Structure 1
């Protein structure tokens, strides 16, 4: 009757967190832990750190007002423990937020390092591809130059008609000279130059007045007679970038 009174109902009913029956195993365990001797047994249990303390235990209910007063008294005297728990919870929340921030910063750092590593790997792969391509081109051109040395047509004799004496001046070496037939392909000027080890892979030849620039790939079916008029001609060789 006391526990069912209006005063206790309005105060306790909305704040009752847990209850059990002594007819259940849970109730038997609670009875033993709380050392309850009569029923119903009303307890206020406070948590202090990892410990649980019985702040109030009521086993006799003689008067509703007296019972309510004891409950209020028990709650008030649990304030220190409750305050401790609130501070611990606040501290735990702060540590949790700090840990989250640290974890987020760590993940951002790891992500940034990973992106940098992936970027370095891409750059290294690209650089290696470029180097491999350059090396492949050099090897192919070395084979091309060796083939030119073996297949270059023989030089016409000095008594042969319709020939042109060509001198090719190199940037840092003595000129190289050769006679050509006027009906030889103009590309033969470049192919002859490539048989000399001092000549770079990529170059232009300049001749005429005013001087014109010629590149191997830009010469079509022209013959030497088409691009040179006299019986002698001086060409100037200039190296160009490998990518051109």
Structure 2
């Protein structure tokens, strides 16, 4: 059709803008003829989209002269430019809104993700804090049982008239000292066990005595007796709390 009517002129005007064509011998062509109200053939139409509507901008049914036909087509294309410009602006606006919506959605998802991460972090911290508290409570309960057992099993204090005894005073950091007599052949660990029976004594501590002062811890004492480590008849020990992981 293009080659017969106007050749290269129509080709350069329409070119890639000719999007669709059909024959009236097909069902598609019959439907198009009915919708476009075409009465003669060939029928050339320029259809533009205006928003959600489609408008027939030009309907050319009679080709009496090639130049006149081309002029009508050029006029139709130019006349449709306003609608095409509107469509371009509408598409640009739609694209801008689409990009803005994407940015807003991305920002929202980032915010939700950040909130979720914060919530998960708070949950982890709370779980960790609860575990620490539970572990501390468990250790306190175990130590309470341990203290009660020591009170029941601690050997009786020797009398003041008994020979081979040592009077030991254990000075506490914030309380009055505690005192007791021990037999020289008692295990040196008995000093710690006696201290533990006092409710003001922590579960982890070390004792310092002698000149120069030497530090002793319960687990570091082996088979030594009190007489092995203390020479006089009286001795003063200094109790210092230590960290549990020390």
Q: TM-score, normalised by structure 1?
A: 0.92
Q: CA deviation at 1:54?
A: 0.4
Partner of residue 91 from structure 1, selected from 87, 93, 98: 93
Deviates more, 1:175-184 or 1:41-50: 175-184
Report Cα offsets for 1:163-222 as digits up to 9, x if no partner.
Answer: 211111223333222111112111100100111122222222221112222222222222
Report Cα offsets for 1:128-172 as digits up to 9, x if no partner.
Answer: 221111111111111111110111112223333222111112233
- CA contact under 8 A between 2:6 and 2:67: conserved in structure 1? no
CA distance in 1, matches of 2:143, 2:172: 20
- CA contact under 8 A between 2:44 and 2:59: conserved in structure 1? yes
- CA contact under 8 A between 1:170 and 1:199: conserved in structure 2? yes
- CA contact under 8 A between 2:6 and 2:70: conserved in structure 1? no
Quickly say closer, same or farther: Cα 1:10–1:234, change in 2 above 3 A. closer
Quickly say closer, same or farther: Cα 1:78–1:209, change in 2 above 3 A. same
Deviates more, 1:110-119 or 1:141-150: 110-119
CA distance in 2, matches of 1:6, 1:116: 68
Deviates more, 1:80-89 or 1:3-12: 3-12
Q: CA deviation at 1:92?
A: 1.2
- CA contact under 8 A between 2:13 and 2:74: conserved in structure 1? no
- CA contact under 8 A between 2:208 and 2:237: conserved in structure 1? yes
- CA contact under 8 A between 1:5 and 1:64: conserved in structure 2? no
Q: TM-score, normalised by structure 2?
A: 0.91
Quickly say closer, same or farther: Cα 1:4–1:79, change in 2 above 3 A. closer
CA distance in 1, matches of 2:212, 2:11: 115
User: What SS does the aligned partner of 1:206 have?
Assistant: strand
- CA contact under 8 A between 1:7 and 1:64: conserved in structure 2? no
Quickly say closer, same or farther: Cα 1:148–1:20, change in 2 above 3 A. same
Give ranges in structure 1 of 5+ residues lacking alignment: none
- CA contact under 8 A between 1:8 and 1:64: conserved in structure 2? no
Give ranges in structure 2 of 5+ residues lacking alignment: none
Report Cα offsets for 1:26-59 as digits up to 9, x if no partner.
Answer: 2222111111111221100011111111000011
CA distance in 1, matches of 2:232, 2:16: 118
Counterpart for residue 149 of structure 2: 147
Q: CA deviation at 1:232?
A: 1.2
- CA contact under 8 A between 2:58 and 2:76: conserved in structure 1? yes
User: What SS does the aligned partner of 2:5 have?
Assistant: coil
User: What SS does the aligned partner of 2:168 have?
Assistant: strand
- CA contact under 8 A between 1:167 and 1:177: conserved in structure 2? yes
- CA contact under 8 A between 1:186 and 1:223: conserved in structure 2? yes
